[in-house]
């Protein structure tokens, strides 16, 4: 977040000057973030019209994580913030969004069961290019709000995979297959983990990482993301 603090603080959305460098967006723009409320799909976090509805996106799919909680509607405001977080060196946006996600997650009945928060790792080459892992900053904000400890080195990414952005759902699954490794099985053994990423799209990355966590001895995994694309 140091880079965010060097420059004069401006709203990440409207660029209006802010009163404090610790602020990320102005009060007016904060109202443009729309939290996802029930009913939503417990498997992928997508909004449902009614509690009786089936999620069409999840039909015929099996995930290794036990459930998903998504924070916000994936609209223009959230897209711009996540783009700035990932590509404009604004890690403070991740911390801020993590805190906002935390305010939503603390209302869930299963939150008391979470022992650890684990961010989806970047490959070390990609992290060197970016300078940080955006999911780690989201996880830090989430941890600060919930009090759940964060583990940043519990999982490593073994291959520098292609960006998932332009890939079909089928190719996304292949792209992230067998790319994660848990080097120390004792660290998370028996824990219930909140696995953090920026956006849930097909769930391929979260599912691949969840599988290796469960194989390493983690008892349950819940996916936690800022938005559902």
Which tokens go with 101?
């996600």
Distance CA 95, CA 132 (A): 12
What pLDDT sits at residue 3? 47
What pLDDT sits at residue 72? 98
Instruction: Name the residue among 18, 16, 14, 63 with its Cα closest to residue 42.
Output: 63
Contacts of 142 (CB under 8 A, 6+ apart): 98, 99, 101, 102, 105, 117, 148, 150, 194, 196, 224
8 A C-beta contact, residue 224 and residue 199: no
- Rg of the Cα trace of the chain? 17
Contacts of 22 (CB under 8 A, 6+ apart): 9
Which tokens go with 137?
């900053």
- Fold of the CATH domain 2-228: Rossmann fold (3.40.50)
Distance CA 182, CA 140 (A): 20
What pLDDT sits at residue 167? 59
What are the residue boundaries of the structural domains of the chain, listed by start? 2-228
Average pLDDT along the chain, 229 residues, taken 10 residues at a time: 56 90 88 95 94 89 95 97 95 96 93 95 93 98 97 90 62 73 89 98 95 96 97
What pLDDT sits at residue 160? 72
């Amino acid at each position: 977040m140091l880079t965010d603090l060097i420059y004069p603080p401006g709203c990440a959305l409207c660029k209006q000057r802010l009163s404090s460098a610790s602020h990320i967006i102005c009060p007016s723009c904060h109202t443009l973030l729309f939290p996802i409320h029930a009913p939503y799909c417990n498997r992928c976090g997508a909004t449902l019209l009614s509690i009786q509805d089936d999620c069409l996106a999840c039909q015929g799919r099996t995930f290794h994580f036990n459930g998903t909680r998504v924070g916000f509607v994936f609209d223009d405001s959230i897209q711009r913030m996540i783009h700035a977080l990932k590509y404009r060196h604004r890690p403070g946006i991740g911390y801020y969004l993590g805190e906002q996600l935390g305010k939503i997650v603390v209302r869930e009945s299963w939150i008391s069961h979470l022992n650890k928060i684990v961010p989806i790792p970047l490959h070390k080459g990609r992290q060197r290019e970016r300078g940080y892992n955006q999911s780690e900053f989201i996880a830090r904000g989430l941890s600060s709000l919930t009090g759940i400890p964060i583990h940043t080195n519990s999982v490593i990414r073994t291959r520098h995979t292609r960006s998932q952005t332009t890939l079909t759902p089928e190719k996304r699954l292949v792209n992230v297959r067998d790319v994660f490794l848990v080097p120390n099985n004792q660290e998370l053994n028996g824990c219930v983990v909140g696995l953090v990423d920026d956006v849930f799209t097909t769930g391929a990355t979260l599912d691949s990482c969840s599988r290796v966590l469960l194989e390493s001895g983690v008892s349950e995994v819940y996916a936690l993301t800022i938005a559902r694309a």
